[in-house]
Structure 1
Amino acid sequence: MGAQRGRDLLLKLDAASNGTFVTVAGLRARQVALNATTVDITTSDSAGRWRELLEGAGTRAASLSGSGLFRDAQSDTAVRQLFFDGAIRPWQVIVPDFGTLEGQFQITSLEYAGRHDGEMTFELALSSAGQVSFTAV
């Protein structure tokens, strides 16, 4: 993946869970983490007493954190309401020239900040609440 414009990284929300994703924010900084737990099946008979893992048996999780600007007041309102409701909704993270992560996420953190001589920004953290898919560009 070569150099890209950071402003092209988008966060999209399907607030009505009807398959229609709307851009709610452009992210200036972000981190996407994909994690997997393991299931240890090591026994006293394991070769050389090396740990053995059960393939495909652990759980997987995805999380996203980022900061940026809301697209408009409706986007800010929708995201804020999802946070206060503790709702789980479909989200997409569009990473230009890389692909799209899509799945059910819950907002686990929402922070607002602003300087007296600048724009209002937000920080957001999402945690997966179901299967997450990746579609390469």
Structure 2
Amino acid sequence: MTAQKGRDLLLKIDSDGTGNFVTVAGLRTRRLAFGSDIVDATDMESPGHWRELLSGAGLKRASIAGSGLFRDAQSDALVRQQFFDGAALDYEVTIPDFGVVTGPFQITALSLSGTHDGELAFEIALESAGALGFASL
């Protein structure tokens, strides 16, 4: 696999619940991370006293972080309202040559910054809020 352009990782939101995803913002930096907790099932009879893990029992999660510029006033208002409502809406994250992750996410952090002679920038963090789907490209 050849190197991929970071700008090709896209973050989209289903703003009206119809499954029509629209790009939220022009993200300049972005990150998608997956994680899972473990359940330790080790007991006195574990072979060689090695730790044993209970397969498939841990909590799974995904987080998204990014920074950039809002595409327009409409996407700015949508993200801001979602944050203040504490709503979990469906997002779509496209990872080039890998796949598409879809499912509910909730905004956990939103910050705005700017200089007097520059554009308004933002940073956003989202956490998964339910089961996620994955489809290969």
Q: Pick the TM interval, shorter chain.
A: over 0.9
Match of 2:110 in 1: 110
TM-superposed CA distance for 1:50, in Å, is 0.5
Match of 2:130 in 1: 130
Q: Distance in 1 between matches of 2:106 and 2:54?
A: 29
TM-superposed CA distance for 1:102, in Å, is 1.0
Q: Distance in 2 between matches of 1:5 and 1:71?
A: 20
Between 1:110-119 and 1:93-102, the stretch displaced more is 93-102
TM-superposed CA distance for 1:135, in Å, is 1.9
Contact between 1:21 and 1:91, CA under 8 Å: does it hold in 2? yes
Q: Distance in 1 between matches of 2:2 and 2:115?
A: 33
TM-superposed CA distance for 1:68, in Å, is 1.2
Q: Percent identity?
A: 58
Q: Distance in 2 between matches of 1:124 and 1:105?
A: 12
TM-superposed CA distance for 1:96, in Å, is 2.5
For residue 24 of structure 2, give the secondary structure of its aligned residue in structure 1.
strand
Match of 1:52 in 2: 52
TM-superposed CA distance for 1:97, in Å, is 2.8
Contact between 1:6 and 1:27, CA under 8 Å: does it hold in 2? no
The residue type equivalent to 1:114 in the other structure is: G
Match of 1:85 in 2: 85
TM-superposed CA distance for 1:107, in Å, is 0.3
State whether structure 2 residue 76 is matched by structure 1 residue 76. Answer: yes
The residue type equivalent to 1:18 in the other structure is: T
When the two structures are aligned, how many residues end up with a matched partner?
137
Match of 2:14 in 1: 14
- Give ranges in structure 2 of 5+ residues lacking alignment: none
Q: Distance in 2 between matches of 1:127 and 1:85?
A: 15
- Give ranges in structure 1 of 5+ residues lacking alignment: none
TM-superposed CA distance for 1:18, in Å, is 1.8
The residue type equivalent to 1:84 in the other structure is: F
Q: Distance in 2 between matches of 1:111 and 1:102?
A: 24
Q: Distance in 2 between matches of 1:57 and 1:86?
A: 28
Describe the shift of the 1:26–1:134 C-alpha distance in structure 2 as closer, same or farther (beyond 3 A). farther
Q: Distance in 2 between matches of 1:80 and 1:66?
A: 15
For residue 131 of structure 1, give the secondary structure of its aligned residue in structure 2.
coil
TM-superposed CA distance for 1:45, in Å, is 0.5
Which structure carries more strand by proportion?
A: 1
Match of 1:96 in 2: 96
